[in-house]
Structure 1
Amino acid sequence: MSKSNEKLVQNTLKILERDFIVVGKTRVRSWHAWLAIGLAAGAVASILFVANRSGEFEAGMAASWGTATAKSYISGLAPSNAIDGNLSNFYSSKKQSSANSNQWISIAISPSKIHKVRILPRIANGKVLAFSVNFSLQYSVNGGQSFTDIPGQTFTNYIAGSDWQDFFFDAISGVTNIKLNATKLGTDDFNNYFLQLSEIILQGPGMNQYTEGVKVFDRSNAWDYSPAVMSFVNDPLKAHIFYSSTDFNSMGLEADAVYYGVYDIKSKSVINNAAKVLGASENIKNAKITASSFLSGWEPEKAQDGNRGTAYSSNMHTSSDSTEWLKVSFPPSLVQRIEIHPRLYGTGTLGFTKDFKLQYSKDNGVTFTDIHSLNNWEAKADWQSFPIVETEGLKNVTDIRLLATKLNPDDYGNYYLQIEEMLVFGGWDTMHVGDPAVVSGKFSYGGNIYNYAMYYTGTHHILNQSKIGAAFSNDLTNWKKYPYPVIRPSTESDYFYGDGMPSVVNLDGNSKLIIFYTDISPRSSASGDPLRLFLFRTTDDGIHFSAAKKISRNGLPDIMTLDAPMISSDYATGKWYMAVGSNNPVQKCTKPNPIYDHMEVKVYRTDNLETGVWKYVDTLDYSIANNMDHNPAFLTDVFGNITSFKTQLPTFFGRGGCGIDDIKGWSLWMATGSF
């Protein structure tokens, strides 16, 4: 391990020993599969990158370019507040006696080419306060001795939205100052006249400016998002890219999988097309299925043929109070989930049991023990999912039996037990596997040592009950799953997302890691916490993790408007960087069945994960109508750090339309930022 990483590890471990603050390396964020329909949390990309470490990697905050001055200001609300990257404070002029007063704020920089000004108004309780009504944006090329109006940037009766206000214009070279010159003021919450604003960012080539995005991977009829990218050790401009992509299997089950491809960042070209390397757990194979009775043409094998156009049926009964059973037998196996699909008729079900037990046997069907005992069950016209409540499932199971004691009728009023499919799974992640986070190290599992670990979001549910799983590899193509979730929510619910969208950092080059993730769970009002939290944990072996700690929300917008953060570190400065999807409600999605309004990728940084203030760095936003840029991932080294890649930092993200019908058109993109 390099001296740079050794220094980072030593410093980090000292901090961990003191107060559990971490300085280290991180993966790229993974946005999840539920983003597509609920978009609550999730799938991120992790990019690992080895690069030249000769320079310092410093965030491109406006404050680093120069100084801010103003015509007037209130003590404590100085113009410097407008360029400090802290969204929780603001600049304010002195109080004026009328709206028709002149106030200004000016930003001085070294001579630069500028083509965009971003201004964040002062916002309180969702309301914009004291933003200028009439104003012009002006520039100077002589150190502020004289100013000229920027063409097209003079406004009358301007109404500011409660988010960043973007002002684009033809690039102007040699700019030394940008001034907002207000001639009519707005009011604060007490109807007093001020010029107030939270932040001003100037953008141009080489200054906090992301390049126009380029498409990286795009599988047809699938939605691609949540990348995790790791560079080649011997060629840092070639990247291993892992990302989420959705599959649709033969039985109509929609399931995310992790795909892996190789991309040349310099030439912006695909070297190896992406291929599936990790998928949802499949049902136990080579099983034998038997039943208490069956009709000719409706044999029990129909419930395991992978064809939902066929079905198993018991013999007919004249009373609902009848008993039938259907049993799946197999060699001794781990069992974590049972999935049953009723026989469908139109939008409803036929012949599914009303009262029943799900049972298991470990002695080849001689004796059975109840797993679930259910009465008055109302079957939905979809897969019925039955988890094993034990944390690590049931081991050495030989049989699973559905014992029905009260039947439902078919469309003629006769009573049967009828089932299209009955599948038994050894894995917990039977529906979604995505949001990969990949890191290098030395990981011991199953008697073998592996060079890479992948952490991913998995679930058996169409949207919720997510957990975080682990898999290990030596070649990045063949992965061995750990059989159980390594992180799960404290309270699991069908109505909440759970835990997912991880990013990860290796602290010692071996198996000491920090993992960052999103948690959306039911909480008591007494906790004072929102439903969505960003959390982190540590591990010494890559499998068993410490208790969760909260990541600071100081300086961030409302956390409920943020989705799937990827967190990484710059070991040269000891700072943490976050790339996160941010909902912009000002730009409404006009597509049918919108997932979210306009979404853009924002970047923040902090000095302290638990107590620090996140300072705004940049926005990756191309102002495309009805568009979502989401699930971002920085390029990092193999341990999860943003390296000292001083002027060019590739960031990968999912892009697509904001309507539910746009999902299959989502693709993976890359843009390069100059911080």
Structure 2
Amino acid sequence: MKHRRSRHIGRGFLAIAATAFAVTAASLIGGPALADTGAPPVEWDASSIDEVYAPADGYYSYAPSVIREGATEWIWSCHNDDFRVIKDHIYLTKIVDGVVVDSRSVLQASPSPAWDSFHVCDPSVVAGRFSYQGTTYGLAMFYLGNDLDASAHNQVGVAFANRPEGPWVKLPDPVVTFDRTDQWGAGQPTAVSMPGKPGTVLLGYTQGDTSTRAFVVSVDLRAAESAKISEPRLLPTAGLTGTDGAPDYLNGFDLVYDKRGDRFLTVREQHPYPTDNPWWIGPSVQVAAIDADDLVKGRGVWTPAGDVDESLTGFPRNHNAGFARDWKGNLAAKDDVTVVFTKSCSSLPTVDDQDWSQATCDSLYSYDLWSIDGELRKRR
């Protein structure tokens, strides 16, 4: 799925969290980050492009949340469970030494009339210390859910587990709510553990109503039954560029924290959208960087770091991407960046096929996962 405030809103909590994040991050790297030189932070290695996971014919996989530890990767993705049936589950694909050893559905829609009774998609998994109904959990999965067979009325929920494969226990109500059933809603979450606050996460998400915007909140899940969610902060878009070089907006993004540079990187969908099939996804994703304190406070300017596009990968669509991260949402390797992106085919209409009904590109069922590595330039 591409594109209600919580019951307990903690005013001022995000500002406190921002200070804690900046102070703790500075202590982790031995002092404040120095000014950027303005050079692109990431240098891509085109020879590293590799297929990560290809679902069977009639199935799709996209929007990965990737955790890497040594030679093992856990990838949660948006995936269908029945042949050529568009109903989203969240799958976990486990990869060891580059080989897929397991792939299965680990989170499904709830029974109707629950808020997430049709699609569950767009996972973001992070480690911490979360308490719910007397049990302490080490993992939280934020996800998009809805109750319609449509790209509408999306909201963001959370589930807990102590193992990557689950069982995952859902909080019954969404943590980011959206009331209208005729608009896209809130979704595409991305979560990072707050340093020094193992029960609190920084949560970014997309909201689509009369326009498309990105927000960030802090979510305190030390007692998840009474979760404390801060007021949303609108994320900046200054510095982001589209495929045409023009200023761009922010949606469909993942975040990772670079401790050494005390900054966040985002990988996000670029615009404008193309005119050929599929026209609802961008042709490329862009990596950009911003100071951690600026992101948390909803200010500042992004520094573009490089695009993952057809000229680099050879694919006409490179979309719905995520970073390889550690369990807390930091870079998996301190000087390297790995982006796991979704590949898709594309096709043009013909005079006799204006609605693409005969198109050779069966775009949704061409969605599979690929990766590319880059070297992260150190800040002086």
TM-score where L is the length of structure 2: 0.77
Q: Could you tell me which residue of structure 2 aligns to residue 227 of structure 1?
A: 64
Deviation of 1:211 after TM superposition, in Å, equals 4.0
Question: Does 2:154 align with 1:466?
Answer: yes
Deviation of 1:445 after TM superposition, in Å, equals 0.6
Q: Could you tell me which residue of structure 2 aligns to residue 69 of structure 1?
A: none
Deviation of 1:596 after TM superposition, in Å, equals 3.8
Q: Could you tell me which residue of structure 2 aligns to residue 138 of structure 1?
A: none
Partners of 2:22 and 2:310 in 1: CA distance: 32
Query: 1:207 corresponds to which letter in structure 2?
Result: E
Q: 1:445 to 1:54 in 2, by over 3 A?
A: closer
Secondary structure of the equivalent of 2:43? coil
> Given the alignment, which residue of 484, 487, 500 partners 2:173?
484
Aligned positions of 1:356-505 closer than 5 A: 427-461=114-148, 462-477=150-165, 478-489=167-178, 492-505=179-192
Deviation of 1:627 after TM superposition, in Å, equals 2.1
Query: 2:172 corresponds to which letter in structure 1?
Result: P
Deviation of 1:273 after TM superposition, in Å, equals 2.4
Query: 2:94 corresponds to which letter in structure 1?
Result: V
Do 1:225 and 1:654's aligned partners in 2 also have CA atoms closer than 8 Å?
A: yes
Aligned positions of 1:230-249 closer than 5 A: 230-232=67-69, 236-248=70-82
Q: Could you tell me which residue of structure 2 aligns to residue 653 of structure 1?
A: 341
Partners of 1:227 and 1:641 in 2: CA distance: 16
Partners of 2:21 and 2:30 in 1: CA distance: 23
Q: Could you tell me which residue of structure 1 aligns to residue 358 of structure 2?
A: none
Q: 1:662 to 1:24 in 2, by over 3 A?
A: farther
Query: 1:237 corresponds to which letter in structure 2?
Result: A
Partners of 2:220 and 2:281 in 1: CA distance: 40
Q: Could you tell me which residue of structure 1 aligns to residue 5 of structure 2?
A: none
Query: 1:551 corresponds to which letter in structure 2?
Result: L
Aligned positions of 1:583-602 closer than 5 A: 583=271, 588-591=274-277, 594-596=278-280, 599-602=283-286
Q: 1:15 to 1:589 in 2, by over 3 A?
A: closer
Deviation of 1:562 after TM superposition, in Å, equals 4.8
Do 2:324 and 2:339's aligned partners in 1 also have CA atoms closer than 8 Å?
A: yes
State the superposition RMSD in angstroms. 3.3
Q: 1:441 to 1:21 in 2, by over 3 A?
A: closer
Do 2:324 and 2:337's aligned partners in 1 also have CA atoms closer than 8 Å?
A: yes
Partners of 2:17 and 2:85 in 1: CA distance: 48
Question: Does 2:213 align with 1:533?
Answer: yes
Deviation of 1:495 after TM superposition, in Å, equals 2.9
Question: Does 2:258 align with 1:259?
Answer: no
Secondary structure of the equivalent of 1:254? coil
The count of corresponding residues between Structure 1 and Structure 2 is 331
Partners of 1:665 and 1:472 in 2: CA distance: 31
Deviation of 1:581 after TM superposition, in Å, equals 1.5
Partners of 1:210 and 1:18 in 2: CA distance: 38
Query: 2:87 corresponds to which letter in structure 1?
Result: A
Question: Does 2:98 align with 1:268?
Answer: yes
Q: Could you tell me which residue of structure 2 aligns to residue 421 of structure 1?
A: none
Secondary structure of the equivalent of 1:595? coil
> Given the alignment, which residue of 204, 207, 227 partners 2:43?
207
Q: Could you tell me which residue of structure 1 aligns to residue 367 of structure 2?
A: 666
Q: Could you tell me which residue of structure 2 aligns to residue 101 of structure 1?
A: none
Partners of 2:104 and 2:23 in 1: CA distance: 30
Q: Give the stretch that moved more between structures: 240-249 or 622-631.
A: 622-631
Structure 1, residues 157-199: CA drift from partner, whole Å, max 9, x if none? xxxxxxxxxxxxxxxxxxxxxxxxxxxxxxxxxxxxxxxxxxx
Deviation of 1:19 after TM superposition, in Å, equals 6.3
Partners of 2:157 and 2:106 in 1: CA distance: 15
Partners of 2:142 and 2:215 in 1: CA distance: 15
Q: Could you tell me which residue of structure 2 aligns to residue 622 of structure 1?
A: 310
Structure 1, residues 62-95: CA drift from partner, whole Å, max 9, x if none? x85xxxxxxxxxxxxxxxxxxx36xxxxxxxxxx
Do 2:265 and 2:289's aligned partners in 1 also have CA atoms closer than 8 Å?
A: yes
Structure 1, residues 362-394: CA drift from partner, whole Å, max 9, x if none? xxxxxxxxxxxxxxxxxxxxxxxxxxxxxxxxx
Do 2:62 and 2:320's aligned partners in 1 also have CA atoms closer than 8 Å?
A: yes
Q: Could you tell me which residue of structure 2 aligns to residue 641 of structure 1?
A: 330
Structure 1, residues 602-633: CA drift from partner, whole Å, max 9, x if none? 10001111211101111112336772111111
Structure 1, residues 87-117: CA drift from partner, whole Å, max 9, x if none? xxxxxxxxxxxxxxxxxxxxxxxxxxxxxxx
Partners of 1:518 and 1:21 in 2: CA distance: 24
Structure 1, residues 610-669: CA drift from partner, whole Å, max 9, x if none? 2111011111123367721111111111111125521x3221111112468310121111
Secondary structure of the equivalent of 1:583? coil
Q: 1:24 to 1:629 in 2, by over 3 A?
A: farther
Partners of 1:472 and 1:15 in 2: CA distance: 23
Q: Could you tell me which residue of structure 2 aligns to residue 515 of structure 1?
A: 203
Partners of 1:19 and 1:439 in 2: CA distance: 19
Partners of 2:51 and 2:23 in 1: CA distance: 30
Unaligned 5+ segments in structure 2 are: 1-11, 348-360
Do 1:258 and 1:277's aligned partners in 2 also have CA atoms closer than 8 Å?
A: yes
Q: Could you tell me which residue of structure 2 aligns to residue 546 of structure 1?
A: 230
Partners of 1:597 and 1:450 in 2: CA distance: 35
Q: 1:612 to 1:644 in 2, by over 3 A?
A: farther
Partners of 2:75 and 2:23 in 1: CA distance: 21
Structure 1, residues 500-548: CA drift from partner, whole Å, max 9, x if none? 01111111352111101101123xxxxxxxx111101112226421111
Deviation of 1:570 after TM superposition, in Å, equals 0.8
Partners of 2:190 and 2:22 in 1: CA distance: 14
Query: 1:277 corresponds to which letter in structure 2?
Result: V
Deviation of 1:561 after TM superposition, in Å, equals 5.7
Q: 1:658 to 1:465 in 2, by over 3 A?
A: farther
Q: Could you tell me which residue of structure 2 aligns to residue 111 of structure 1?
A: none
